[in-house]
Chains A and B, each alone.
Chain A
Amino acid sequence: DAGVIQSPRHEVTEMGQEVTLRCKPISGHDYLFWYRQTMMRGLELLIYFNNNVPIDDSGMPEDRFSAKMPNASFSTLKIQPSEPRDSAVYFCASSEDRGYYNSPLHFGNGTRLTVT
């Protein structure tokens, strides 16, 4: 089991550029979550999917953020255009299809995004 795989590990970009973060969940996990972590706000849930369908995107900060899950083994989080305040560590997590509430989350190692 390779765990949740995120890429890239680090991303440095200039304000206004498009950024795409990628995630491969653990095989067989039907729930996928995107989180953002900052010192001030901690770890915030942005969006989660069940069986590739977005269920709750109320945490997505604004229209510049979008997430997709075209199949069970891949998801992307896109920021367009990026702004310095988007600088944070973005985590992807997945869990088994027993109802995420009672299932532990498995996290990737995150993507550290710096927007200059």
Chain B
Amino acid sequence: GNSVTQMEGPVTLSEEAFLTINCTYTATGYPSLFWYVQYPGEGLQLLLKATKADDKGSNKGFEATYRKETTSFHLEKGSVQVSDSAVYFCPRGNKLTFGTGTQLKVEL
């Protein structure tokens, strides 16, 4: 079956630092891949998606590339801001289980 493994957090960075949150998957076929973000006190919202291999999803300065050769969909941002502090989720497999996500804290 399909499954996704997400890097555990928490991650603490200084403002303007580079961010990478790892997400790898195992799948039969080529499923769409997603990143969601949850800000404090809110529900999850879609951050970006990629529907096929070599696709790059991007939004709000975040990017992730669907890499078939490494079975990865790592989330990256070149310069994080305090406002990016949130929990990031790479949902898993067919059942869309989200787990605990990766908590990001950005400090001044």
- B12 contacts chain A at the CB level, 8 A cutoff: no
Best-buried of A33, A39, A43, A106 by chain B (most CB within 10 Å) = A43
A13 cross-chain contacts in B, Cβ below 8 A: none
The interface residues of chain A lying within 8 Å CB-to-CB of B44 are 43, 91, 93, 105, 107
The CA of A93 and the CA of B38, in the complex, are separated in Å by: 13
**A102–B32 contact, CB under 8 A?**
yes
Q: Are B89 and A43 in contact (CB under 8 A)?
A: yes
A110 within 8 A of B: yes
CB contact between A109 and one of B43, B49, B94, B98 (< 8 Å): that residue: B43
Count of A-B contacts judged by CB separation below 8 Å: 53
**Judging by beta carbons under 8 Å apart, are A43 and B95 in contact?**
no
Please pick, from A4, A41, A105, A110, the residue contacting B96 in the complex, using a CB distance under 8 A.
A105
With an 8 Å Cβ cutoff, the count of chain B residues facing the other chain is 21
B13 to chain A minimum Cβ distance, whole angstroms, is 22
Note all chain A residues with C-beta closer than 8 A to B49.
104
Report whether A45 and B43 are in contact in the complex, using a CB–CB cutoff of 8 Å. Answer: no
CB proximity of A115 to chain B, nearest CB, Å: 20
Contact, CB under 8 Å: B96 / A33: yes
Does residue A108 face the partner (Cβ distance < 8 Å to B)?
yes
Q: How far is the CA of A43 from the CA of B51 in the complex (A)?
A: 23
Name B99's contact: one of A42, A102, A104 (CB within 8 Å): A42
Residues on the A chain within 8 Å of B42, using CB: 109-110
Instruction: Tell whether A49 is near chain B: CB-to-CB under 8 Å.
Output: no
Q: Is A57 an interface residue (CB 8 A)?
A: no
A-B contacts, 8 listed (Cβ < 8 Å)? A4-B43, A33-B96, A35-B98, A41-B100, A45-B97, A104-B34, A105-B96, A110-B43
B residues neighboring A (CB under 8 Å): 31-32, 34, 36, 41-46, 49, 51, 89, 94-101
Given contacts A39-B100, A101-B94, 5 further A-B contacts (CB under 8 A): A35-B98, A43-B97, A93-B44, A107-B43, A108-B43
